[in-house]
Amino acid sequence: MCRHSITRRQMLGMGLGAAAGMVVVPNVLSALGAGAPPPTDLEVAVKAAKWIRRSRVETKNGVTWPADPLKPDSIGMDLYNGMPGVILFHLELFDATGDRAWLEDARLAANELTAQLPALQAAQASGLYEGLAGAAFVLEETHRATGEGKYRDAARRAIAMIHGLAKKTEAGVEWSGASAANDIISGAAGIGLFLLWADRTMDDPQSRTLALAAGRQLVEVGIKANGGTKWAVSPSVKSLYPNFSHGTAGVAFFLTKLYRATTDVSMYAAALSAARYLQAVANADGGGYKVFHHEPGGEGLYYLSWCHGPAGTSRLFHQLAQTTSGDKWQALVDRGAQATIAAGVPEKQSPGYWNNISQCCGNCGVGEFFITLQQTAPKPQYADMVRRISADTLARATIDGDGLKWIQAENRVSPQAVVAQTGFMQGAAGVGTYFLHADALAKARRRSIVWPDSSLPQPCSAKEKTSRDMSDLVGGVQKSC
C-alpha cells in the first residue's frame, strides 16, 4: 500500500506549513430547500461516513480507504490522514448510533492494518501520527470496542516493534528512521504519549519505563532560549515550530504527562521551562494569547487551530492547570480562546486560517478546542463558538449522493490545490468525529475514545474500573480517575 502524496514531515523539510484562499462549494442548507430543517450533528456524522464508505477498497485481509477517492492508490497506514483514523471514526460512530455496520467496517479495516504492521516496522516508522504508535492505539481501541483478543495481540506486537526500534543514547532513548524527531506527529513526544497510554490502558509498565527514557533524551536536546527551553522538530528541519504539533508546546505537554505518570520532577521542571519560553515569545495583544508559526521568517504568522495555534498549544496549559491547580495556567487557556474568538473565525479568513475545515489546521480543530472548553469550564461564548463552527462547517459541505464531503485546501501555500479527503486530520473522518463530539456535548454523552495527546481525562485503568462507576459523568466528560 502506498501513502498519500506527502507527509507533514516532508512538508516541513520543504519549508511548507500545512495550510489557502476561499473556494466556493454548494451550500448544503440551500440544497435542502427552503424551510427544511438542517441535519443534526449525528446525522452529519453519518452522512460523512456514507461518503467515505463509497471509496472502500476490499483487500485480501479486509478493507481500506484511499485518502483521496479520486486516487485509489492513495492508501496510507498513518493515523494523520490514512485509514487508521477512519477506523477510529467508525468506532465512535458505532458507539453513538449502535449500528453494527460501522463496527464491522472498523473490524475489517483493523484486519488490514494488522497485516501492514511489518511494513511500518521496516520503514522504522514508530510515530503516533505517522507510524506504529498510531497503529497500536487504533488496534487496541478496536479490541476495546469488539472484545476480540486478536486486536489486542496485534497492538502488543506493534508495541514490541516500537520498543525494538528504540535506540539507547547517553541520556535515554530516541528513534531513528521516520521517527528521528522530537515532535508529536512522528517523534519522541508523540511516541511517548502513546507509551503512557499503553501503560495506563493495557497495564504495560515497560512502556512507561521507555517513555521516561524518551523524556530524558528530550530534556537533553532542549535548546535554552528566552529564559526557558524550546525544541526543534529534528536536526534535519531548520525551522523551529513552537506550538503543539511539531514543537515546544507538544514536547512540554508530553513531559507534563510524564511527570504525572512517574513523579520525575526533572520532567516537570523541563515542562515549566518550556512554558516560560512560550510566555516570553507570545503575542498578548488585546489580552489574548497566541504564539507565532515558526522561526526564522514566520514570527508574524499566526495559525489558530490544532497544529500551530491556541487550539493545540492550550493543551499544554490545560495539562499544567490539572497538574498544579494553578489559576495562571487556566487563565492562559482562556486567553488562547479569547485570541481565537477575536480573530473572527470561522467566518473570517486570514493567512493562518484559510479554506480548511480539518482537525489539523481549520474549523474542526478549533471546534474541538471549544468543545473541550465547554465541557471543562463552560461559558456562553464557548457554546456560541461551537454553534458557529458547526454551522459554518456544514455550510461548506458538498452533497455527494447520500453522503457529505468537504472540498478544501490542505496547504496554505498551494490554495489552488483543493481536494475532498477521507482521513482524520484532513478529511471527512475528522469532520464526522467533530460532529460526533458536538453531539456528545449536547447530550452529555460519554466520549468513547480519548486520544493519547488529548488534554481530556484518559480512560480508567483496569484497576480503577473495579473501584468506580464508569458511567459517572461531569459536564458530559468522564471523571478523571
| 29 pLDDT above the threshold of 80 | no
d(CA 437, CA 389): 13
d(CA 34, CA 204): 56
What does the pLDDT read at residue 458? 78
What does the pLDDT read at residue 480? 47
Would you place residue 34 in the very low, low, confident or very high pLDDT band (cuts 50, 70, 90)? Answer: low
Lowest mean pLDDT across 189-198, 210-219, 428-437, 449-458: 449-458
Among 165, 65, 88, which residue's Cα sits nearest to residue 125? Answer: 165
Residue 289 forms beta bridges with which residues? none
Amino acid at 183: D
What does the pLDDT read at residue 27? 59
Mapping DSSP to helix (H, G, I), strand (E, B) and coil, where does residue 208 land?
helix
Summarize pLDDT for 368-402 with one digit per residue, the tens. Answer: 999 999 999 999 999 999 999 999 999 999 999 99
Average pLDDT over residues 437-458: 95
Lowest mean pLDDT across 188-192, 238-242, 257-261, 470-474: 470-474
d(CA 106, CA 366): 27
Summarize pLDDT for 262-292 with one digit per residue, the tens. Answer: 999 999 999 999 999 999 999 999 999 999 9
Summarize pLDDT for 201-244 with one digit per residue, the tens. Answer: 999 999 999 999 999 999 999 999 999 999 999 999 999 999 99
| 461 pLDDT above the threshold of 70 | no
Task: Report the Cα 357 to chain-centroid distance in Å.
Answer: 14
What does the pLDDT read at residue 3? 34
Q: Where are the alpha helices (DSSP H) in 303-362?
A: 310-324, 327-342
What does the pLDDT read at residue 475? 38
d(CA 42, CA 37): 14
Summarize pLDDT for 168-177 with one digit per residue, the tens. Answer: 999 999 998 7
| 21 pLDDT above the threshold of 60 | no
Would you place residue 316 in the very low, low, confident or very high pLDDT band (cuts 50, 70, 90)? Answer: very high
Residue with cell 506527502: 6
Lowest mean pLDDT across 50-54, 182-186, 200-204, 347-351: 347-351
What does the pLDDT read at residue 471? 42
Which comes out higher in pLDDT, residue 457 or 76? 76
Neighbours of 53 (CB within 10 A): 18
Summarize pLDDT for 76-135 with one digit per residue, the tens. Answer: 999 999 999 999 999 999 999 999 999 999 999 999 999 999 999 999 999 999 999 999
d(CA 206, CA 163): 9
| 162 pLDDT above the threshold of 60 | yes
Backbone angles phi and psi of 63, in degrees to 5: -140, 165
Residue 138, CB-side half-sphere exposure with 13 Å CA sphere: 35
What does the pLDDT read at residue 415? 86
Summarize pLDDT for 340-368 with one digit per residue, the tens. Answer: 999 999 999 999 999 999 999 999 999 99
Which comes out higher in pLDDT, residue 22 or 230? 230
CB 422 within 8 A of CB 65: yes
CB 278 within 8 A of CB 228: yes
